[in-house]
Amino acid sequence: MSTRPLPFEIDAAQAGGPLGMPAEQFLRDYWQKRPLLIRNAFPEFDSPLQPEDLAGLACEEIALSRLIRHDRSRDGWQVETGPFDEDLFPGLGERDWTLLVQDVDKWDADVAALLPQFAFLPRWRIDDIMVSFAATGGSVGAHVDQYDVFLLQGQGHRRWQIDASEAMGRGVPPQDFRDDVELKLLREFTPTHDWVLGPGDMLYLPPMVPHHGVAEDPCLTFSVGMRAPSVSELMGDYVDTLAAETDESVRYRDADLQLPADPYEIDDGAMTRVVEAIEAMRMQDPERLGDWFGSFITGYRNAQQVVAGEAPPPRIELEWLLSQGQAALQRNPFTRMAWRRAHDGARLFASGTAWPMPATDARMLAACAQLDGDAYGALSEAAREAVLELLAQGHYVLTEPDAA
């Protein structure tokens, strides 16, 4: 009995969701397995951002921005990092340049409003929404990303070429980089698929799928990227945490030492004891391991360090303002939160710190960007104390109710 191959392109116009299929089906058949072009993922899409807004943000000191220009005559690439002078943009011309700004969801609430559409993924896995504006012909070259990405076309049209050889069973495509440009561009790129995306179309790419996008006309693209730490990053932080927490009395021991055949040889017995010493240091407690990972992943790749601002009012005054509906607590957009269950309740993780509290509180705080008086009043004392400390650290700011 033959099985029909999964399509690389679908139309979501009648599906009632951005994936064009149930989320469970997408995760089973496509997530980290094969690319998918979803036509009409966001039907009649109205871009929440305009090109001039993006240019204005790229001029700010606080934004992470890049300008990439391509010289077609010699296939040369020029990369500049922001902030940029606003006088730069009128002189860039009408072709072959791209402006990219990271973390736009942190600066623009309308862009951040796209994120609930990706609630089929763990929120702590989503890194940011990068927005790019490309003049006609603008591109960043053929490349691969080491993480999953959803490329949503906002305005204009972009031609995307991808090499889906691996998903088609043809083997892994070449992934050597050119050595004559600043960017990590592929030396060889042979596309298997060629599509032009319009507003509302979205392309999903698993990690390491070669792709190349070129603007057919002036266009905006929203890139929803994932957080995917490398094993070396995980191990580096893990080992640093172990080293900081391990008792100095835990050492290499050889109470079973036998007379050595050669005193200069590191024999098999010595290596067995080395492994035992390392194993003794390893986090064998799931609670401790979970606390480490929650702290690590909410602090990983933070684009901006959250710092304390103006000192909050005394607790009694703050709680009175909240209870009277005269104030609310707005989470700093750069504060990442997640939570996990623990043997004694739960842990709320906020940008690398862990706070013990009941699971109902941790779940609510991780999901809510703003706390009003009712939400705060429903918290346990442990959760309130955590919120007050997070407020003092700048992870919340005191604002008017419903102020974005």
Pairing of strands 158-162, 193-197: antiparallel
Q: Is 323 exposed, middle or buried (0-12, 13-18, 19+ CB in 10 A)?
A: middle
Structural domains of the chain sorted by starting position, each given as residue range(s) with its CATH number in brackets: 9-226 (2.60.120.650), 315-399 (3.40.366.30)
The span from the CA of 66 to the CA of 80, in Å, is 6
Q: Does residue 404 surpass a pLDDT of 60?
A: no
Q: Does residue 247 surpass a pLDDT of 80?
A: no
Q: Does residue 2 surpass a pLDDT of 60?
A: no
CA distances from 103 to 31, 60, 334 (A): 23, 13, 9
Q: Tens of pLDDT along 96-117?
A: 999 999 999 999 999 999 999 9
Q: Does residue 382 surpass a pLDDT of 50?
A: yes
Q: Tens of pLDDT along 342-352?
A: 999 999 999 99
| Contact by Cβ (8 Å): 54, 129 | no
Q: Which residues contact 337 (CB under 8 A, 6 or more apart)?
A: 298, 331, 348, 349, 350, 351, 365, 366
What is the pTM (predicted TM-score) of this model? Answer: 0.91
